[in-house]
Amino acid sequence: MNILEIISKKRDKHELSSGEINWFVKEYTNGAVADYQASALLMAIYLNGMSRRETIDLTMAIMHSGEQLDLHDTLDFVIDKHSSGGVGDKTSLVVLPLVAACGVPAAKLSGRGLGYSGGTLDKMESIPGWTPNLSIDQIKAQVADIGLVLAGQTASLAPADGKLYALRDVTSTVGCLPLIASSIMSKKLAAGGDGIVLDVKIGSGAFVKTVEEGRLLAETMVNIGHDAGRNTVAVLSDMNQPLGNAAGNSLEVAEAIRTLRNDRSSPDDFWEHCLKIGSYMLYLAGRAETLEACEARLIEARDSGDGIEKFRQMVTAQGGSGDIIDNLDRLPQANFIADVTATSTGYIKQIDTENLGWAVVNLGGGRRQKTDPINPAVGFVMPVKVGDFVVKGQVLATIHADNVGGFNQAKQLILSSIQIVGEKVDKLPLFYGVVNSS
Ligand code: URA
């Protein structure tokens, strides 16, 4: 086979065969196809798209580029979830312990932050001592022992995705549905889930900005899961404002713990979101007949304290200090904490959530380059939502910064991201629908 023929075929809007797709992924991963040739093919795919058959072929080829995790010698049914990324999304920290406390073991491989969008591992690492670096044997032993593991994505799973993703990042080919879908699903399939719940974020703080695009991405990923024999559901959820109130690593861990403890200060939108994702996980695992019954089980697991105990067990099993759960002030604390207040009175019309994510990165809570260190303590807590009426001088957000310079920069970005108008504005929905296998 010849890479020039493959590029020109896609450039001229023809379908690639399964053999051509497999050959490209294998040879690119081996280094036999150069980056500039792979870039040309990615751009041709970006411009001309891929059929359902091509997309599943690409996903399977990426998945087969490395090892596959098989937990079936430990678990009867493997449940997994994935979020397409956003700001303030700490759902895994709450949902996985609750699902495990309901008797459905969960061993999740998570990632780090990507651009302005936070990552589960970075959040969890703000707990002193906690580590995501577990071998496959350790993952199996821990999930058999306590029913819950949160580990780092190993480089041996879907290695072609790491290489292709890095190339897409620097060739403006990230925002392409078949490429996003195959990237996410190859990792999920390699991680071995029998049931997969996809949380497809839509809005100003997500990679996908419109409901139409989000639905198409969800359908593409659900079709891939279905064709690969996995029971897959996608929840379309809003990301036009941060999920919950906190954004920034240790602030999000604290909010997740408050939610598991059912503290009065825990935000309702975040809890609703956790119930939705968690109930689909229990439902796919056959834990109850209806989604309502699954929700009731999750509420019971939170109210009985079983969920927070499961979280504590996971933290201590992975080397973390369990007493932060009872003493949140032992989490890393920022040096300079101050409020941003509204400069006018009116209704919040719009929030540029991507900008808010960049505010966290600028404060030091995310990375501009792969090697950048993370400051776990920084970020913001924003108690206001789209549709809220605010008066001039009211607190819009509390910024946790390393110093006054960082605070001032974040303050400007946050103020310019929140639009306040005179006319009444409707609240945003939390969800835009659910896509099931067809
Ligand atoms: N997350 C991924 O893993 N891949 C993409 O392409 C986009 C988001």
Positions of the chain with pLDDT under 50: none
CATH number among 3.90.1170.30, 3.40.50.970, 3.40.1160.10, 3.40.50.150, domain 333-421: 3.90.1170.30
Cβ–ligand 1 distance for 184 under 6 Å, the answer yes
Question: Which tokens go with 351?
Answer: 């929030």
Task: List the domain boundaries for the chain.
Answer: 3-49, 79-327, 333-421
- Among the atoms of ligand 1, which is closest to the Cα of residue 111? 3
Cβ–ligand 1 distance for 376 under 6 Å, the answer no
> Which residue CA neighbors atom 6 of ligand 1 most closely?
180
Helix-strand-coil percent breakdown of the chain, rounded to 5?
45, 15, 35
Amino acid 10: pLDDT: 98
To test the pocket of ligand 1, the residue of 169, 174, 224 to mutate (highest count of ligand atoms within 8 Å of its CB) is 174
Q: Are 105 and 147 in contact (CB under 8 A)?
A: yes
- CA separation (Å) from 287 to 74, 105, 195, 225, 314? 18, 12, 12, 21, 22
Amino acid 395: pLDDT: 98
The model's pLDDT over 326-351, given as tens digits with 9 standing for 90+, comes to 999 999 999 999 999 999 999 999 99
The architecture in CATH of the region 3-49 reads Up-down Bundle (1.20)
C-alpha 328 to ligand 1 mean position (Å)? 32
Q: Are 22 and 57 in contact (CB under 8 A)?
A: yes
The model's pLDDT over 284-314, given as tens digits with 9 standing for 90+, comes to 999 999 999 999 999 999 999 999 999 999 9
- Among the atoms of ligand 1, which is closest to the Cα of residue 165? 6
**CA separation for the pair 334, 304 (Å, rounded):** 33
Burial 346-366 (b: 16+ CB within 10 A, else e): bbbbbbbbbbbbbbbbbbbbb
C-alpha 240 to ligand 1 mean position (Å)? 19
- CA separation (Å) from 146 to 54, 55, 128, 399? 40, 37, 21, 37
Question: Which tokens go with 320?
Answer: 């973390």
Q: Are 271 and 244 in contact (CB under 8 A)?
A: no
C-alpha 398 to ligand 1 mean position (Å)? 30
Cβ–ligand 1 distance for 180 under 6 Å, the answer yes
Q: Identify the active-site residue in 168, 273, 302, 312.
A: 168
C-alpha 183 to ligand 1 mean position (Å)? 6
Neighbours of 370 (CB within 10 A): 7
52 is catalytic: no
Amino acid 147: pLDDT: 96
Amino acid 437: pLDDT: 79
- Among the atoms of ligand 1, which is closest to the Cα of residue 183? 4
- Taking alpha carbons only, the member of 339, 341, 321, 316 closest to residue 331 is 321
**CA separation for the pair 26, 333 (Å, rounded):** 46
Q: Identify the active-site residue in 89, 161, 269, 352.
A: 161
Amino acid 47: pLDDT: 98
- Taking alpha carbons only, the member of 197, 232, 239, 284 closest to residue 432 is 239
- CA separation (Å) from 408 to 159, 251, 364, 383, 398? 40, 19, 14, 19, 12
Amino acid 370: pLDDT: 73
426 is catalytic: no
287 is catalytic: no
C-alpha 140 to ligand 1 mean position (Å)? 26
Phi-psi region of 419 (alpha: psi -120 to 50; beta: other; left: phi over 0): beta
168 is catalytic: yes
Share above pLDDT 90 across residues of the chain, in percent, rounded to a whole number: 90
C-alpha 402 to ligand 1 mean position (Å)? 30
82 is catalytic: yes
**CA separation for the pair 72, 193 (Å, rounded):** 10
Amino acid 438: pLDDT: 61
The architecture in CATH of the region 79-327 reads 3-Layer(aba) Sandwich (3.40)
**CA separation for the pair 383, 414 (Å, rounded):** 13
